[in-house]
Structure 1
Amino acid sequence: MRTFRRGRPLTPTLSRTGEGARRGLHPAWLAFLGLLLLALPARAGSLDRAGIERFFPAPLVVGERDDTVPVWPILKQEAGSYEVFAYAFESIDLAPIPGFGGTPPNLLVALAPDGSFRDVKVLSHHEPVFLEGLGSEPLFAFVEQYVGLSARRAIRVGRANARANGAAPQSVVDGISMATASTRVINESILNASLAVARRKLGFGAAANVGLKVEAKIAIYAPMTFDDLIAQGYARRFVVTNGEAEAAFRGTSVEGRAEGPPDAPLTDLVIAYLNVPTIGRNLLGENRFSALMRELGPGDHAVLVVSAGPLNPLGEDFVMGSIPDRIAIQQEGLVINARDMAIERRGAGMAGLPEGPWTILKIASQAGFDPSRPWTLSERIVRERGQILTEKVSRDFAIGYALPDTLFTREKPDAGPSWADSWAARGWELGAIAASLGLLIPVLVRQRGLVADQRRFEPFRLAFLAFTLLFIGWYAQAQLSIVTLVGLVRAAVGSGDLSFLLYDPPSLLLWAFALASLVVWGRGTFCGWLCPFGALQELAAWPAKRLGLRQVAVPPALDRGLRLVKYGLLAAILGAAALSSPLTDSFAEIEPFKTAITLYFVRSWPFVAYAAGLILLNLFVYKGFCRYLCPLGASLALGGRLRLLDWIPRRSECGSPCQLCKVRCRYGAIEPTGRVDYAECFQCMDCVTIIHDPGQCVPQVLARKRGRRIIPQPVAAE
């Protein structure tokens, strides 16, 4: 390392490449890489038939597992035959999105034929916040919210109690405080896996339209008669004769029950999409069309169904505002949820429109319905036999409907990737952290500025540490952890998907800054300024120092040995992760971060006692955990060997004869020779303050007393 004669400008210098080469690869990394080579990826569902049957006991029956998609049909008996009750599958087979433990959560999902969730269960997970933290009960309660919701909707995770505060219960689930990122990963796992099954088993072709905004062009209008609308295909007449119905029921127990001539209509419907002004205004009239458009929500659609035949498609017991039992709208194989708008049935429409029973069906914007593409309307015709034990047989009849796409505007909002919501929701937190980093950088760079003034610098440091603890740690939950490195290892030997990092923007911002600062300053920038638990220790030690609490002097030989412990812990944790050992999460508990920062000490007493014990130890052995036990600090110390700058200024007198900086360094990062051990430096800047202070720096004090001028003369590096 380059040193300087008295009086030479104290500026950082580039490390010699020879020194970096001599450092070599740390033994902990060699051990870890060896274990990594032995690891084999394992990502597959865990349930066989017996396992599935435990979740779906009799009278439900588990069918044969699909050969093309890992799905188990769950059957129930209806009227002497078996119908599909649900499709059961494991999310890890279809959407293995890594969580913050590095491995995907695995959930058992039961999807009904209509696309709604019958059940969702957590089979396994490695989410740190729920492992010996909050416990798994909040996670179990979180996934229970999906029961009854539809995979056709874009479900998002809101804040805790979001639905109680007015969020739509059909499209929002309540999040969990302190587990925002984990719940978003789980939400994406459930939805992505469910849509994959729905497309293959339920014909969810229109699922890709969720979020698509298709609107009729209001400016396009032409007056037309009813016959003109029929001729243009803007309104469709749907007729099923008695003969066609009889042919459909041929061979059943209700054959031969037609009640009229074969060519007479059994059902005669007129259907029309009303949002297009040329259709809606002509059919309903100006006033009723305007009222309808006001009642529809943004992106909603309205379909008119009018009956002119003897068969009422709504049924005699139809309730206004409900979903008709016998009418269904489908698009690309997906049944679209269409509900009666409960509009009072008064007055007829335009001339030529039948005067029979009618309904206006509302299709919500979340259904993914695209009126500019073909769709079908089907009617179910039911025949009955017997008066005591009635047997019902039904057949479906359908008609297609399509309008020119020139009548519509199409807008597909760029929703962005699944993690984009996290960045939008936490934008101001990111701004606050970025601003704090923007403040910190010039303070550290300009050593002759604030750092050189001890009276001003000490309050600044304490205030910044308080911000780190209170905002970065306890509020933004951005405590970096060895758990992230465990996740990286698990992802590396598994799917290779690192997207889980993007679900926690504040932590990712700090990781980016910490890695960049490694190259410039070493580990000290994060460990000394941005680690919330480190800040908690330092803030706790500050009043103890003022009260004169005496520190324990660790013998140098023991100190050197203890500093190696953290590297052994790092190798053990990452090695266990590479081998997919179940002990990995237990090993990671050597960090008290989850207890002290993520969970605010709200945890079972052994964990609280351990974290509190480390803070108490810190009062006597300053930052003992950071110096001896922290595996994250060990990883940063190894990464800090790439440091480009020996940025802490030194004088030739440093170490011989002056030992002031060494004595004042509470981390023991300055050797007796005056050399700085950057792997152990926490960038507290005390030594930098001393060397720039003419009243503290011993060589400057002596030179001033002797009235001598110090002339800089470089000294060759050792």
Structure 2
Amino acid sequence: MSIVRKLWVVVMLCLAGMAGAADLPAVFPQVRSIFPEADAYGGFEGTPPSVAVYQGGKRIGYIFLTEDVLRIPAYSGKPINTMVGLDLEGRIAGLAIVKHDEPILAVGITPERLNRYVAQYEGKSAFDKVIIGARREGHVAIDGITGATITVMVENATVMRSARLVAEARGIRPPVSPVADRKDAAAPAQPAAPAPLPAGEMPAAPAQPGAVSPPESRPQRPEPAPRPAAIASGTAGKPAAVVKQAAPSSQPVHGAMPLTPDFPPQKVAPLPAKPGTWTPPKEEPAWIAIWQNRSFDIAVLVVGLATLSFILIFQDWLAKHPNALTYVRNGFHVYTLFFIGWWGLAQLSVINVLTFVSSVMQGFHWENFLIDPMLFILWGFVATTLLLWGRGVYCGWLCPFGALQELILIASRKLKLPEIEFSDAVHERLVALKYIILILLFGVSLQSISEAAWYAEVEPFKTVISMRFQREWEYVLYALGLIAIAAFNRKFYCKYLCPLGAALAIPGRFRLFEWWLRRRKECGKPCQVCANQCSVRAIRPTGEINANECHYCLDCQVIYYNDKLCLPLIDRRKRREQQLVRGQESRANAPAKNVVVSENHPDDMGTAGQH
């Protein structure tokens, strides 16, 4: 019975495929926008599969789905399924995105912007080297979508590689460049010597520049008169190589060996490739070209991360010079906001974390994450700092939205705006919110990354950083509200709502070192200066630093080395000052005593002088 059921399922699937192919526009309405003049369609045939498109009984092109040809995981960890149309010359007639799970496309990118992007592919050859952004020699550049860097780069690689594979499978060849045509026309005509073909196989018809038709639509040439085939001895009766369309030449060929009955069979070399086919050049992975295009951004980012490493290593010296620390920290916030954020669009997100977890569960591939060099390098640095310092390095120094909040707080303090703080009881309960949000997002992501991306709009990063406030008014209003609150409560969003901060805090608990932020035995018992001065409320009343909430601003370290703020240092300073005063008093009183002794005992003056 199980075999009958399996056969029934196979038959039903075949019938469903035939019905879908017969009425393609009913299943995929996008086909009408790609080939509006088409009046008939074939079925999904060939490898890779595609549908032939007809007009008036004449074939005019092919339609295929990229998911059937090539699957390149995008930002969400899943491929973008796109319908692509090719004409008989290998040009892209149009394309339409059929299905995707991309967060930025689901929430953030309007259909108009997406349509403008995909329209750029129309008229491009399947054999063009299309790149996003800056122009390069030998490449065709198109504009990307701001805030969707990874998505458009993956979509570009998917569309162009799939189109090339389908074109090659249908016998379409790249057009010959006009320069090559002129050179060929100027050169004297010489007899052609095509690649040798196995016996019984006809060579493919030569491609004509500008008008290439599929193999099945080419006119058949008359069969030439058969010529005897040269057979090497010892090959089990199989012909070694036969040339059917070239006249034999009486001129000796350099390096050729005559095929004689005593010719050793081991000298017959295998043919390197199937004759009559075009072998495309080997392509480099898409991420390599992207890294090359963003070499300047990568260099500036690496310099910035090296500078931050230097700051962290020599943090004690900076803490002893608070004015220098203030300038360095504020300057780095400007760098983080403008370069890492608004220029490099390297704002990390909780969606990155959820995508990484999903990739590990479904099959991890480095190529999925190498596609964006800025995010890849930044995540690598953050992973390292999590092991050494914990969450605080990213949240306090490398988060563009966090840097914006810090700069807003500086401006509010210049304006002498009041700072509002919650009580300890309220604060402790609000801190748990971001962990609850993270758990909910993780649960939703197990079902659908795209749906989790919609709920992840609790992060204002996309609105403020990726899209630079160019969004619908409700998203902008939400982001501006959080920024306004940050002027009165330092990093309100980071402390209470940020799921990314919660995600970083979990592995940050396994950091290797605890001595980067120095504490004294008097901290918390009785001294509460650091706890009262910490605006992010990361120091417990008992004096310990809660690394899960610390943003590594180093304010507590400034107090640690300041003998006018730290109570233990104040006590030591006062004791030193008292000892110094007593020493000065004793030295001041010593000559007076000698004078008194001299008056009472005149004979001792000479003795004192001798000593």
Cα deviation code 1:480-523 (max 9, x no counterpart): 11121233244345564452322211121111101100000000
**1:88-487 maps to which residues of 2 (within 5 A)?**
88-159=63-134, 171-200=140-169, 202-203=170-171, 296=179, 302=184, 336=207, 338=209, 395-396=220-221, 416-487=284-355
State the TM-score, normalizing by the size of structure 2: 0.73
Check whether the contact 2:48–2:165 (CA below 8 A) recurs between aligned residues.
Answer: no
Cα deviation code 1:9-50 (max 9, x no counterpart): xxxxxxxxxxxxxxxxxxxxxxxxxxxxxxxxxxxx9x8743
State the TM-score, normalizing by the size of structure 1: 0.62
Q: Secondary structure at the match of 1:661?
A: helix
Change (3 A) 1:332 1:185: farther
Q: Secondary structure at the match of 1:107?
A: strand
Distance in 1 separating the partners of 2:452 and 2:362: 15
Moved more, 68-77 or 95-104: 68-77
Distance in 1 separating the partners of 2:153 and 2:372: 10
Moved more, 541-550 or 595-604: 541-550
Cα deviation code 1:422-479 (max 9, x no counterpart): 1111111111111111111122122331232111110110011011001110111111
2:74 paired with 1:74 = no
RCO higher in structure (CA 8 A, sep ≥6):
1
Check whether the contact 2:107–2:453 (CA below 8 A) recurs between aligned residues.
Answer: no
2:44 paired with 1:65 = yes
Distance in 1 separating the partners of 2:519 and 2:109: 48
Q: Which amino acid in 2 is paired with 1:182? A: T
Distance in 2 separating the partners of 1:438 and 1:657: 39
Change (3 A) 1:510 1:401: farther
Q: Secondary structure at the match of 1:620?
A: coil
**1:611-650 maps to which residues of 2 (within 5 A)?**
611-646=479-514, 647-650=516-519
Query: Once the 2 structures are TM-superposed, how far is the Cα of residue 304 of structure 1 from its aligned partner?
Result: 7.0
Query: Once the 2 structures are TM-superposed, how far is the Cα of residue 175 of structure 1 from its aligned partner?
Result: 3.1
Check whether the contact 2:101–2:450 (CA below 8 A) recurs between aligned residues.
Answer: no
2:453 paired with 1:585 = yes
Change (3 A) 1:452 1:337: farther
Q: Secondary structure at the match of 2:308?
A: helix
Q: CA RMSD in A?
A: 3.8
Change (3 A) 1:64 1:551: same
Cα deviation code 1:166-190 (max 9, x no counterpart): 988x833333444443322111010
Distance in 2 separating the partners of 1:337 and 1:481: 51
Higher helix share: 2
Change (3 A) 1:167 1:581: closer
Check whether the contact 1:443–1:449 (CA below 8 A) recurs between aligned residues.
Answer: no
Check whether the contact 1:106–1:125 (CA below 8 A) recurs between aligned residues.
Answer: yes
Query: Once the 2 structures are TM-superposed, how far is the Cα of residue 115 of structure 1 from its aligned partner?
Result: 2.0
Distance in 2 separating the partners of 1:495 and 1:73: 34
Q: Which amino acid in 2 is paired with 1:654? A: C
Check whether the contact 1:98–1:491 (CA below 8 A) recurs between aligned residues.
Answer: no
Distance in 1 separating the partners of 2:391 and 2:176: 46
What are the ranges of 5 or more consecutive residues in structure 1 without an aligned counterpart? 1-44, 212-294, 309-330, 341-366, 368-377, 382-393, 407-411, 711-718
Match of 2:269 in 1: none
Q: Secondary structure at the match of 2:303?
A: helix
Distance in 1 separating the partners of 2:210 and 2:37: 34
Check whether the contact 1:443–1:451 (CA below 8 A) recurs between aligned residues.
Answer: no
Check whether the contact 2:38–2:53 (CA below 8 A) recurs between aligned residues.
Answer: no
Change (3 A) 1:663 1:400: farther
Query: Once the 2 structures are TM-superposed, how far is the Cα of residue 58 of structure 1 from its aligned partner?
Result: 7.6
Higher strand share: 1
Q: Secondary structure at the match of 1:545?
A: helix
Match of 1:55 in 2: 31
Distance in 1 separating the partners of 2:377 and 2:189: 61
Instruction: From the CA coordinates, give the structure whose radius of gyration is larger.
Output: 2
Check whether the contact 2:147–2:462 (CA below 8 A) recurs between aligned residues.
Answer: no
Query: Once the 2 structures are TM-superposed, how far is the Cα of residue 64 of structure 1 from its aligned partner?
Result: 2.1
Match of 2:573 in 1: 704
Check whether the contact 2:301–2:340 (CA below 8 A) recurs between aligned residues.
Answer: yes
Distance in 2 separating the partners of 1:438 and 1:634: 26
Check whether the contact 2:132–2:143 (CA below 8 A) recurs between aligned residues.
Answer: yes
- Residue number among 693, 713, 717 corresponding to 2:562 in the alignment: 693
Distance in 2 separating the partners of 1:468 and 1:405: 65
Distance in 1 separating the partners of 2:80 and 2:502: 28
Distance in 2 separating the partners of 1:334 and 1:570: 61
Distance in 1 separating the partners of 2:254 and 2:574: 91
Check whether the contact 1:97–1:497 (CA below 8 A) recurs between aligned residues.
Answer: no
2:558 paired with 1:676 = no
**Equivalent pairs: percent with the same residue?**
32
Distance in 1 separating the partners of 2:372 and 2:146: 13
Query: Once the 2 structures are TM-superposed, how far is the Cα of residue 128 of structure 1 from its aligned partner?
Result: 3.8
Match of 2:528 in 1: 659
Match of 1:576 in 2: 444
Query: Once the 2 structures are TM-superposed, how far is the Cα of residue 106 of structure 1 from its aligned partner?
Result: 1.7
Q: Secondary structure at the match of 2:28?
A: helix
Distance in 1 separating the partners of 2:503 and 2:207: 53
Distance in 2 separating the partners of 1:516 and 1:498: 18
Moved more, 580-589 or 126-135: 126-135
Q: Which amino acid in 2 is paired with 1:500? A: N
Change (3 A) 1:332 1:176: farther
Distance in 2 separating the partners of 1:561 and 1:76: 68
Match of 1:353 in 2: none
Distance in 1 separating the partners of 2:523 and 2:118: 61
Match of 1:539 in 2: 407
Q: Secondary structure at the match of 1:645?
A: coil
Check whether the contact 1:528–1:535 (CA below 8 A) recurs between aligned residues.
Answer: yes
Distance in 2 separating the partners of 1:708 and 1:83: 102
Query: Once the 2 structures are TM-superposed, how far is the Cα of residue 53 of structure 1 from its aligned partner?
Result: 5.8
Cα deviation code 1:604-651 (max 9, x no counterpart): 110000000011111222111111111111110011012011121010
Match of 2:470 in 1: 602
Check whether the contact 1:486–1:577 (CA below 8 A) recurs between aligned residues.
Answer: yes
Q: Secondary structure at the match of 1:172?
A: strand
Distance in 2 separating the partners of 1:332 and 1:94: 27
Check whether the contact 2:30–2:83 (CA below 8 A) recurs between aligned residues.
Answer: no
Query: Once the 2 structures are TM-superposed, how far is the Cα of residue 133 of structure 1 from its aligned partner?
Result: 2.4
Moved more, 478-487 or 610-619: 478-487
Query: Once the 2 structures are TM-superposed, how far is the Cα of residue 67 of structure 1 from its aligned partner?
Result: 7.0
2:394 paired with 1:526 = yes
2:556 paired with 1:556 = no
Q: Secondary structure at the match of 1:123?
A: strand
Distance in 2 separating the partners of 1:493 and 1:334: 49
Query: Once the 2 structures are TM-superposed, how far is the Cα of residue 573 of structure 1 from its aligned partner?
Result: 1.6
Give the total of aligned pairs: 494
Check whether the contact 1:491–1:498 (CA below 8 A) recurs between aligned residues.
Answer: no
Check whether the contact 2:103–2:449 (CA below 8 A) recurs between aligned residues.
Answer: no
Check whether the contact 1:529–1:535 (CA below 8 A) recurs between aligned residues.
Answer: yes
